[in-house]
Structure formats: structure tokens, C-alpha cells
Amino acid sequence: MFLAFGSAMIALAGTMLIWPGTRLDTLWLLNESAHEELRKAASHIGPLFWALAIILIAVAIGWFRQRVWGFHLTVAVLCTQVVGDLVNLARGDLLRGVAGVLIGGALLLYLLRSEIRTAFQ
């Protein structure tokens, strides 16, 4: 569900970047600093967000079908998320950084347990 939710949120952000000025723009109040940074290259980043959303849906399908590639890509997605949260920590965004590292790290520890890994063999 994490992957499907992430896909939906990335697709929504891509849509809001490509078509600014809609009622959806009020959602940027949840993360105004991200909006400021993304708005500079919105026409390029919006389609990339859609591509990432499609990739995450494919990964979610692989996960739910218990494919080895789905497991590996899910671990890669979570590792990327943890690295991003570590960057947030380094930039001084302590709340988001710590929360992200704790949640992402916990999910990774869960996924890397032997009984989870063997379900995908």
C-alpha cells in the first residue's frame, strides 16, 4: 500500500506542477518549501513525476505478485527514501529527516527479515 500511496501522491504533485493555479494548489500549503523548489522547473519535473508514479505502480504490482524483482525494487525505493531523509537531516530539516529515517529504516528492517525475503524466492 505504501507504493500505491506514493504513486498517487507523486502523480498528484506532477499534475499540480504541470497545471498550476487550480484548487489543488492549496495542497502545497502542506509543504511550501518543496513547492518553491519544484516550481522553478515545474514543466520538466511534472512529467518526470508521472513517470515515477508509473514505475511505483509497476513495483507495487511486482510486490503483490511476490516477484523477486518486485522485492528488489521495493527495497531500492525504500533505500532511496532513507537516503533522501538523510539529506534532509544534513540540510537541517530535523523533524522530517528523523521521522523519515525512522519509518523508512523500520520498513527496511521488516522487509529484510528472512521470512519476508524467502516469500519472494
Residues 38 and 73 in one domain: no
Q: How many separate domains does the chain show?
A: 2
Q: What is the reported pTM?
A: 0.79
Residues 36 and 11 in one domain: yes
Q: Rounded to whole angstroms, how far apart are CA atoms 114 and 54?
A: 29
- Mean pLDDT for 99-111 is 95
Residues 12 and 53 in one domain: yes
Q: Rounded to whole angstroms, how far apart are CA atoms 44 and 46?
A: 6
Residue 40: predicted pLDDT:
82
Supply the mean pLDDT for the chain: 91
Residues 29 and 18 in one domain: yes
Residue 78: predicted pLDDT:
94
Nearest alpha-carbon partner for 11 in 64, 52, 68, 45: 52
Phi, then psi, of 41 in degrees rounded to 5:
-125, 35
What letter would DSSP give residue 93?
-
Residue 81: predicted pLDDT:
93
**By percentage, how much of the chain surpasses pLDDT 70?**
100
Residues 1 and 60 in one domain: yes
pLDDT in tens, 19-69: 888 888 888 888 788 788 788 888 889 999 999 999 999 999 999 999 999
Query: Which amino acid belongs to residue 13?
Result: A
Question: Counting Cβ atoms within 10 Å, is residue 51 exposed (0-12), middle (13-18) or buried (19+)?
Answer: exposed
**Is residue 75 over pLDDT 90?**
yes
Question: Counting Cβ atoms within 10 Å, is residue 42 exposed (0-12), middle (13-18) or buried (19+)?
Answer: middle
